[in-house]
Structure 1
Amino acid sequence: MLKELLLQFIVSLLPVFAFQLWSHKEHGWKGMPVFMGIFCGASMLLCMLSTSSVLGYDVDFRLIPYLIGSLYGGVPTLVVLTIIYVAVRIPMLDSSWETVSFIMLLVVFIPLVLLSVRPFSRASALYKERKGLLLMSVFMLYFVISMVGFIGYSDVSWSFIMVVSLIVAVLATLTATWLSIFMIESVKEKQLLYDEVKRVSANYHNEAVKLQQFIDETSFGVIVVDHEGRITHFNEMAKKLFFLHSEYTSAMQILGSSFPEVFQIGQEDACVKLLIQALDGEKVSLVPFVNGETMLLLTTISLRTSLNDKNAGAALIAQDVTEIHHLQNEVGRMERLSLVGQMAASITHEIRNPMAVIRGFVQLIQERSEKNQGEYFQIIIDELDRANMIISDFLSLAQNRVLKMEPTSLHAVIHELIPLLMADANLRGQTIEVNLDKHVPLIMLNDREIKQLLLNIARNGMEAMGDNGTLRINTVSFGEKIELRISDQGVGISQDQMKHLFEPFFSTKTQGTGLGLPLCLSIAERHNGRIDVESEEGEGTTFVVTFFLVKEQAEVPDFAI
């Protein structure tokens, strides 16, 4: 009989062994009810088919797979196993005592298991072991009572072998129950640990990929080395900024190389020294490095492990600050020029007063002098007026005064200036053509400054043309902007001159001051506009003054055509 009990013990553990193999297939836990139903049902059938008989009373381990399958498979598995158990057990009932015991088992044990399924699934591993042993202990108590009652009912005396067999059967059943739960929970715990390791590994890989993407896409040059000084990460910008040796051209050559070997002479001292300091644990350092016209800002970072704060390597970061350095110099230069401009504006303003006095006395002397000397005095007066005009243009350009602007028709300003421009054109033998868009809206203007802009550009065009030339003035509306186009048929402007056209004191005319166009640009910018120039040598020039409108201005029509 002991041999049969050993066989029963092994067969009852069949679902556990199968579960260990199944768990390595990485199915997860979605198929647990089906798996437990199949293997626990098979194990239960094998136990019932290989049962041992004690004086006609069946003794086997069939309830071990039944209990394990029900607890781990849930209510559906419990129902299936119960149907299988009842269907197979009923034909095997040989006596009225077994029938009564079977009915009592269905009434007591199965509802007890049903009530334990849901708490069992949410419990800890230790609680599951205790719960399983408790349920099986209840059944073993019932089994012992039934066995004792059956022996008494059969009027058979107890033997030593029967007592030993009964004790072995009870201990083996409890041991198999505990061992089944323990092994299943151990496998589940290992699987959970394995899943956690996979998740952490995936997160680590994702973080490493994001770090490499950041290093690759950043505008800084980055080189990362490990605690042994070997390069583990770098980006293409590092190859451009650090001037590595020519033989280090590919990632395979750079990665794993010792960092002192990769730098060219010139950067070697600074970069290598900084990385050595970082590997020694020194704090972040910012060091400017100049190589020809390129200026770099070098930064080193000492990398430490999070667990024991040991040295894990270092990072060298290079930022190209050449443009920033140039901009800082340019800002400083512009500030100095602004200060000089303010001083010059103050000085020129003060010069106008003595010049006015000089002009007055020259006129007085002219009246008292001989007539044959009048042309000399007129030359003095003309030059004084010319100097005063230069001062006025300079002050208009230098002063940043607040303008008073009103909704005004651009066409009204043009119409006011047309007679004056026509008179100048007639004296030169030229003509003027005006073509104005009927849909140009009202815009915020300072009419005095717009007149000055229009006169300067129109007269420049007239001076650039010979006799019989034509000056064209057009306006075009594009919804959110208005273009004022002034075209001449002059000699045009070369590309070299175009680059300096709006620089103060640059002029293509022998008698020009070089302040007219800069003043026009300043006026356009104060009116939320810009000036573009289209020119070809020998074919003429077109100045395009663009005014950008806000939404409210674009919706107001211009009826003053």
Structure 2
Amino acid sequence: MFLSLVPVFAFQIWYDRPGRRKGIPVFLALFSILTLILCAHFSKDIEYGLGVDNRSIPYVIGALYGGPAGTVLLTVMYAALWTPQLTGFGDALEMTIFTVLLIPMLMFGRRRFEQHDRTTRLRAIAAVSFMIFLKIASVILLEHVFYTGFTAAAVMTTVLHTAGSAALLWAAILLIEGTIEKQRMHHRLTVVSQDYRNEVQKLQQFIDLTPLGVIIVDQAGTITHINEQAVRYISEDPASHGRASLIGGMVGDMDFREEASPVRGLLLEVLEGRTLAPDITREEQRVLVRTAFNIRDDVSRDIIGAAVIIHDITEVSHLKDEITRVERLSLVGQMAASITHEIRNPMAVIRGFVQLMQERSAEGQHEYYRIIMDELDRANSIINDFLSLAQNRVIEKESQSLHDVLNMLSPLLWADANLRGQVIELDLCSDMPPMEMNEKEIKQLILNLARNGMEAMDEKGKLVIRTGCTDDTVELYVEDNGAGIPADQLERLFEPFYTTKSRGTGLGLPLCLSIAERHSGSIRVESEEGKGTTFIVTFRREAGSDPIPQQAG
């Protein structure tokens, strides 16, 4: 009985090594053949040819799990060992039953045996074991009928041994199937663990890359996931409290900075089953939305955790305020544009009558009339600038070089600078591509920026106008060495009606920005107090434009 279970023990030892599982059929077939030989060698005769051995156990094990080649080899070996022992009618009958019933059933049923589940396999083995028992019992019964010399004790011993062998075969298959099932469960557990690990990694990577602060806790309040955004938000010293050091800690025991302490309360409340609305707060000039919710099991709907998401909507809030302000200014601008357009007509009439009165007045009053007309002209200029800024009109453009416009304006700029005692320097790049522009508006842009720079400098100041180009842009630099602009004023330079001049209108720079934007450009300012200011206008180059070499002189 011990020998008959050797293939089972060997199978269990061999099967526990994953790298050797592919060789299981060959290994089991060889061990079954060896065990079959040993069982035949140690068989025992009781009396008158009645014998006991367990050679059927390794044969059935090898035939079912040893593959087709193993089944054939075992059948040949089984027949070779049994043939010399055929001495009577009973042996011949047993051999016939074995050959006609058991071998075909094992040969043709092996594949179906492999395809069924564990329960069906065990039922099949129970049937095979019962057939083996019936085979031996029927042979003994026939022997006893024909040969009356058998003692009852010998017959009973043989029957009990046969029944024990059948039970032993069933137990052996049960052990093998248990080992296989254990390994299958281990494999499934490994796959599930790997899938779980992959999902955890995906979730953590998603949390890490999202621009939101995310904290996830389990049912007990233990932090399972947290990203760097949340660490920077809740910790007083984010550099010393890494994400890894916070995972596994209890949210109720953590030290939150004062502004973030409500997060603990939000998590604890939703863990108790409460439903909370998003919480909008302002902290350190930031607008934050904190949304907390519980996580429930899909089946039982029990709370298994909670999460809080912290979203910084400062930019969105500013953008919303800006849109509201722009809409309000747009409405006011449209109304003002209509009003100012109507004002120009009576102002023209007033100027005409003032001029007529000047001609008919005494010589000593001409200066007063001149002042009135200058102020009317200044008011009309303001109205024109305002209308240019308020009206988002379509302008006509033509392909032209920025250098051509600068060369046309240079005599006017030099004359203006000479009157102020200042110097203008032109530094033009060697290759300037053409660009689609409205010449009148670009001239106005350059004049406004240049005169702003002149007004920011005292006598003997130097204004530098430079150009440059890249593969994608054309750039215009207007640089002065005046007093510079304070940092708190830089952000408001392009606001309509905001000015730092005593007689300024606050429309010059907004008009410049409007012109640049209509030419697919932008303006940025670099300034340092006491050293000067540089206005940089950047235009996007049109696709396919080729550079125009700068002419000497």
Q: Taking structure 1 as the reference length, what is the TM-score of the superposition?
A: 0.78
Tell me if 1:70 matches 2:76: no
Identity %: 44
What is the aligned length? 546
Tell me if 1:348 matches 2:340: yes
Partner in structure 2 of residue 358 of structure 1: 350
Query: Residue type of the partner of 2:442?
Result: I
Partner in structure 1 of residue 112 of structure 2: 119
Structure 1 residues 282, 541: CA separation in 2 closer, same or farther (over 3 Å shift)? closer
Q: Residues 327-342 of structure 1: matches in 2 within 5 Å? A: 327-342=319-334
Structure 1 residues 182, 476: CA separation in 2 closer, same or farther (over 3 Å shift)? same
Structure 1 residues 220, 355: CA separation in 2 closer, same or farther (over 3 Å shift)? same
Partner in structure 2 of residue 176 of structure 1: 168
Structure 1 spans left out of the alignment, 5+ residues: 1-8
The 2-side partners of 1:149 and 1:26 are apart by 49
Partner in structure 2 of residue 447 of structure 1: 439
Shift of 1:301: 1.7
The 2-side partners of 1:310 and 1:470 are apart by 76
The 2-side partners of 1:217 and 1:49 are apart by 72
Q: Residues 30-429 of structure 1: matches in 2 within 5 Å? A: 30-53=22-45, 54-56=47-49, 59-82=52-75, 85=78, 93=85, 110=103, 112-133=105-126, 157-208=149-200, 211=203, 219-222=211-214, 224=216, 237-238=229-230, 241=233, 257=250, 259=252, 274-275=266-267, 277-290=269-282, 293=285, 295-418=287-410, 420-421=412-413, 424=416
User: Does the CA contact (< 8 Å) of 1:492 and 1:535 recur in 2?
Assistant: no
The 1-side partners of 2:162 and 2:16 are apart by 32
Structure 1 residues 259, 219: CA separation in 2 closer, same or farther (over 3 Å shift)? farther
CA RMSD of aligned residues (A): 4.5
Query: Residue type of the partner of 2:64?
Result: L
Query: Residue type of the partner of 1:175?
Result: A
Structure 2 spans left out of the alignment, 5+ residues: none
User: Which deviates further from its counterpart, 175-184 or 14-23?
Assistant: 14-23
Structure 1 residues 557, 252: CA separation in 2 closer, same or farther (over 3 Å shift)? closer
Partner in structure 2 of residue 522 of structure 1: 514
The 2-side partners of 1:540 and 1:223 are apart by 49
Residue deviations 1:8-50 (CA, integer Å, cap 9, x gap): x443233334444555566684342144234323322221111
User: Does the CA contact (< 8 Å) of 1:245 and 1:263 recur in 2?
Assistant: no
The 2-side partners of 1:535 and 1:217 are apart by 36
Query: Residue type of the partner of 2:331?
Result: L
Secondary structure class of the residue paired with 2:22:
coil
The 2-side partners of 1:114 and 1:508 are apart by 103
The 2-side partners of 1:261 and 1:194 are apart by 38
Shift of 1:415: 4.4
Query: Residue type of the partner of 1:548?
Result: R
The 2-side partners of 1:143 and 1:529 are apart by 102
Partner in structure 2 of residue 481 of structure 1: 473
The 1-side partners of 2:225 and 2:263 are apart by 16
Shift of 1:361: 0.7
Residue deviations 1:315-371 (CA, integer Å, cap 9, x gap): 444444455444444443443344333333333333222211110110111121122
Q: Taking structure 2 as the reference length, what is the TM-score of the superposition?
A: 0.79
The 2-side partners of 1:258 and 1:466 are apart by 63
Shift of 1:302: 2.9
Secondary structure class of the residue paired with 2:35:
helix
Shift of 1:103: 9.4
Residue deviations 1:168-197 (CA, integer Å, cap 9, x gap): 354334323333223322333333334334
The 1-side partners of 2:317 and 2:452 are apart by 39
The 2-side partners of 1:395 and 1:29 are apart by 87
The 2-side partners of 1:507 and 1:253 are apart by 52
